[in-house]
Structures are given as structure tokens and as C-alpha cells.
Structure 1
Amino acid sequence: MSSWNFVGIIAWIIVIALLIFVVFNIRNRHLKILVVEKAKITWGTILTDLLEIVVVILAVSGLLYTSLFTKVDLTDKNEVAVTYKYDPMIVQTTMDGQGYYVKIDKKESNSPNDVYQYWLNNSKYTVSSRNAVISDATLPFTVSGVHLDWPMKKIRKMDNRYQDAYVITVHAKYKNNFKNGLGLKANRYAMEYRVLRVPARSFINVEK
């Protein structure tokens, strides 16, 4: 774990300590007014209670939002480091002799996602269409739903080297800084995504 994540741990300790302090502070003030001073709770006391409670709610909400509900901006180089890996796929053959690089498994009819299968170095890999896309090299290179600065010069170079049959694996990792540490995300993976590059749609085997 990155040492920057201790920023978030310390922040949570402070918030928990603040919560405990507020609970005991409200209790002690009320007891002092009712038991020691034998007076009634005033609107001033209630407003003080509400102010302390609001401060705790805002602190907890802020940390929860930073830790769980913020969406990563993959184009923000101050927030994440993005790396690209390129691996050539191995051609497979159907029973009738048709060659293909990617097989789409549609057997799970109840699932909104397809399952993609491909082969690298004689090993089979499986990935959900939720985390991958098939890219037809006969069409312009586009990846919908993932906002990244795609290295098109490198991709064109890989197209020539691997004859449009390879996998682009994208890793986005949170950088070590105060903001990511506060959200307990520093040095952790934000996203993994794959682009399955094929020469044409005819190199896709759809299994139903």
C-alpha cells in the first residue's frame, strides 16, 4: 500500500474522533444544563447541537464521496498514469477451416454482456464485453465509452507489425498524491480495458 493512503486513514481517524467528541459533548452539555444547572434546554443549545452534527455529516460525506463516488478522469495526467501494452493474437480455426482471432460467446442469453475469447502465446484468455471492445481494422479506430488519449501513431505502427491482429491492454493507475491518498486510491488500479484488434469482421467467430 502506498504511504500516501495514510492521508486518508488519518482523515478517517480524525472524523471518527470528531464523531465521538460530538456525541459526548452534546451529552455532557445536556446533562450539565438539566442536572447541574437544573435549567431547560434552550434554542441556543439545540442550534449548537445541530451545528456540530452538520459538521460531522459534512466530514463523513466528503470522505465517502472522495473514496467511493468520484469518477476517475482518464485524461487527467495529474490523477492517473495510463500505460498501453500490445500483444499479438494467435489465429484459431473453426471445424470448417475458417480462421478467426476472437470468439464471441453468446450462450449466456440472460446477461447483457458478451464473452470474448482470444489466444496469446497458445493460451486462451476470456474477457467480458463490459471491459473490452472489438476493433475492426477496416474501420476508423474508435472506442466508445472510454475517454482516453489513444496513441494513434503507436497503434498504426502495431497494425503494420502484427497485421491488425493484436490486443491493446490499457492500465490506468492512480498516482501517488494527496488527493488520491485522501480517497485511499494512491498506487491502485483505476481501470483495465482491452481493445481486440482484428483485420476484419470475418475474423470473428460468433458462437450461439
Structure 2
Amino acid sequence: MNTWNLIGIGAWILLVLYLVFICVNIRNRHIKNIVVHGKKRTGATVVIDIVEVLIFFVVGYGLFYAAWMRPVDYTATDQVTVKHEYGPLVMQTDEDQAYYVIVQGTSSNTPSKRYTYWSEGSKIQVSSHNAIINSDASYLPMRAASYPWSKKQLKELKKLDKTSDHAYAATISAKYKDTFLNGLGMHAGKAAGSFTIIRIPNDSLINVQPLSN
């Protein structure tokens, strides 16, 4: 485990201890009010109760957001390391057709698809949630354009588009750096996300298969 992630683990432990403290503190103060003032609650007691509980929920939400809700910002170079990878596709053949990519549905209830392609001796599978098959005239589809591509990288894509006969995969990926914020969310050193452009000359080179089990 990356030691930076101990920050997040420690924060959650402290939050649990704080919850125990709140329960004990509220109970003791209410008992004291009964003994001293003859009533369970006073205005000051209620205010303190609310403040303590509010602090718990605010801190808890902050930790939950850092761990599970915080979106990946590919442009935040102080928080993530961004990497670009390129590789030509390898054509596959069977009795019926030649193809560069297999498309399989993953569920009858969702539009999610699984893409399988071969590049540089490796079989790679990605979800349609973070990949796109592109057979359009433009080498950079709209979904991919929202990710950071420098002028140098766009030139690389354009060059590969010509030299590979419009058959390649380009992946942009991000990895969380060792920072306090990433450690608080227990993400330090882990993969943050990725997006892949699967470039093919035309749609006839797609092998569509039934839903996978």
C-alpha cells in the first residue's frame, strides 16, 4: 500500500472516534442537565448537539467526496500524471470476415459495450464508457477532444493516422500522484482513469457479437 493513503485511513479512523466521542459527550451532558437543572435539554445543550453532529456530517461528506465522488481532472498536473500511448491495430480474421475490433454487449439493461482489439502483440479489452470506435473523417472524435492533447501529441495522432492506414489505438491515461489530497481520498499511486480511441478505416471491420455472459 502507498504510505500516502494512510492519511485517508487515519482520517476515517479519527472520524469514527469522533462519532464515539459525540455519542458519549451528548449522553453525559444530557445526564448532567437532568441532575443539575432537572431537565433533559437546555438551549445551550441543543446548540452544542447540533454543532457536533454538523461537524461530523461535514467532515464525513468531505472524506466521502475525496474517496468516491471527486472527478478526475486530467489537466491538474499537480495531482495526476498523464500518459499517452499509441499503437497500430492488428487485423484478425475468421471464416466470415476480417476485423480490427470485436464489439460485445455486456447487459441487456444497459447500453454499455465491451471492445476487444489487438495491438503490438497484446489483446486489450476496454469498456465503451472510456473508449470510442472512430471511423469518421476526423482522427480526433468529439468525446476524445475533451481530454488534454498537446500539439505534439495531435501531430503524432495525425501521423499515425496516415502510416497505419487509419487503424490504431491511442490511449490517454492518468495516475494519481503522491499528494495529501490524493492520500486523503486513498488514491495515491493508483490509476485515475483512461480513454481510448480505437481508430478503424470503416465500420465493416467491426465484428459485432452477442451479449457476453
TM-score by length of 2: 0.82
Matched, 1:101 2:108: no
The count of aligned residue pairs is 206
Structure with greater proportional helix content: 2
Contact kept in structure 1, 2:87 and 2:120, CA below 8 Å: no
Q: Secondary structure of the residue that 2:140 maps to in structure 1?
A: coil
TM-score by length of 1: 0.84
Matched, 1:149 2:148: yes
Contact kept in structure 1, 2:139 and 2:161, CA below 8 Å: no
Q: Give 1:122 deviation, angstroms.
A: 5.6
Contact kept in structure 2, 1:74 and 1:147, CA below 8 Å: no
What are the within-5 Å matches in structure 2 for residues 1-208 of structure 1? 1-35=1-35, 37=36, 39-40=38-39, 41-95=41-95, 98-105=97-104, 110-121=109-120, 124-136=123-135, 138-144=137-143, 147-150=146-149, 151-207=153-209
What is the CA–CA distance in structure 2 between the aligned matches of 1:139 and 1:94, rounded to whole Å?
Answer: 29
**Tell me, which stretches of 5 or more residues in structure 2 are unaligned?**
none
Identity of aligned residues (%): 38
Q: Give 1:24 deviation, angstroms.
A: 0.9
Q: Secondary structure of the residue that 2:82 maps to in structure 1?
A: strand
> Aligned letter for 1:116?
Y
CA RMSD, aligned part only? 2.5
What is the CA–CA distance in structure 1 between the aligned matches of 2:32 and 2:108, rounded to whole Å?
Answer: 66
Structure 1 residues 124 and 67, CA, compared in 2 at 3 Å: closer, same or farther? closer
Q: Secondary structure of the residue that 1:4 maps to in structure 2?
A: helix
Q: Secondary structure of the residue that 2:3 maps to in structure 1?
A: coil
What is the CA–CA distance in structure 1 between the aligned matches of 2:189 and 2:83, rounded to whole Å?
Answer: 14
**Tell me, which stretches of 5 or more residues in structure 1 are unaligned?**
none
